[in-house]
Amino acid sequence: MSLDEKQLASTVSNFGNVPKSAKRVPWRIAFGLKLRAWWPYYAMMTPGIIYFLVFHYFPIYQAKLAFEDFRIFGDNLFVGFKHFDTLFDSPAFFQVLANTLIISAMKMVFVFPVPIFIALFINEVRSTNLRRFIQSAIYLPHFLSWVVIAGIFIAALSPSSGVVNDIGQALGFAPRSFMTESGSIRWVVVFSEMWRTAGWDSLLYFAAIMAIDPQLYDAAEMDGANRWQKIVHVTLPGITPTIATLFILNVGLFMNAGFDQIFNLSNDAIRDQIDIIDTYVYRIGLQSGQFSLATAAGLFKGVIGMVLIVAAHTISKRLTGKGVW
């Protein structure tokens, strides 16, 4: 690198510390120098960027298909809100919409708080080795695919050879077919979601707890606070911004009840109880070839999700002063 290039690189690295009037480095040169210096990081980002472009941003442009009749050959025909009228006239769509709302609400109520309690529990464990063992054990399910997890739950809940029914029979209960009973399948969905995600999600809360100033705990101890009082008056207020942010993000994903999970746990006996919008879109789009109708259903879900996340952000901002933006 020549002397001029070294001077320019030095200027770019200190770009934020110079007066605004002195910022005269052309952005192309600055970007090129940073790209040369940070290319390993950009290389690691590339697969993720490609994934989001292909599966999240490109479909936004194709959302116009909801207002058209899709044709393999020739131009699509604009039909306005025809496909939305078809959706809203379909009892099947309202059934999957109700299932989506019920399952998502159950997950929000029974699954979302669990990582918070796990993080608080881990923080109270004083033995470093025990803490590491607990963390490793509860993080493991996150790395299993829903195909594997569904197989585990189907085997464990089997009425003939499942360990859950074996224990129940030993305690005097009659065996039950949890995977085919309409009264229990939604709870299977909720518990399997909790088992897979709660440990991993607690990592964010535990990191937030570690960021709390230790002097606050020392001050609380000097005031005579016990462990419970420290949790209530120091730990929970310290992680409130993290809780608020993750709650808003979860509300934004409220309409995503979990395609992979439902697809692998579903069967003909209980499909009407756990069939959600995503599996409905899969069937009418990929299996039936009604691409425009499937796009309309997906667009409806996306709009509702956007409204929910804006509403959750607004409410959180007013109540706690914390939001996503």
182 and 73 share a domain?
Answer: no
Exposed / middle / buried, residue 73 (Cβ in 10 Å: 0-12, 13-18, 19+)? exposed
- Residue 179, SS3 per DSSP: coil
CATH of the domain at 284: 1.10.3720.10
Domain of 39 in residue numbering reads as: 27-78
Q: Which of 12, 46, 78 is the last residue of a domain?
A: 78
The predicted-structure confidence for 211-226, as pLDDT tens digits, reads as follows 999 999 989 989 888 8
187 and 70 share a domain?
Answer: no
Residue 60, pLDDT > 90, answer no
Total Cβ atoms within 10 A of residue 249: 13
The answer to whether residue 18 is domain-embedded is no
35 and 124 share a domain?
Answer: no
Please state, in angstroms and rounded to a whole number, the distance separating the CA atoms of residues 293 and 289: 9
Please state, in angstroms and rounded to a whole number, the distance separating the CA atoms of residues 102 and 323: 25
40 and 135 share a domain?
Answer: no
111 and 52 share a domain?
Answer: no
120 and 42 share a domain?
Answer: no
What does DSSP assign to residue 18? S
Task: Place 323 in a pLDDT band, splitting at 50, 70 and 90.
Answer: low
Q: Which of 11-15, 27-31, 51-55, 140-144 has the lowest mean pLDDT?
A: 11-15
Is the whole-model pTM more than 0.85? no
If one counts the domains in the chain, the total is 2
Q: Which of 41, 57, 78 is the last residue of a domain?
A: 78
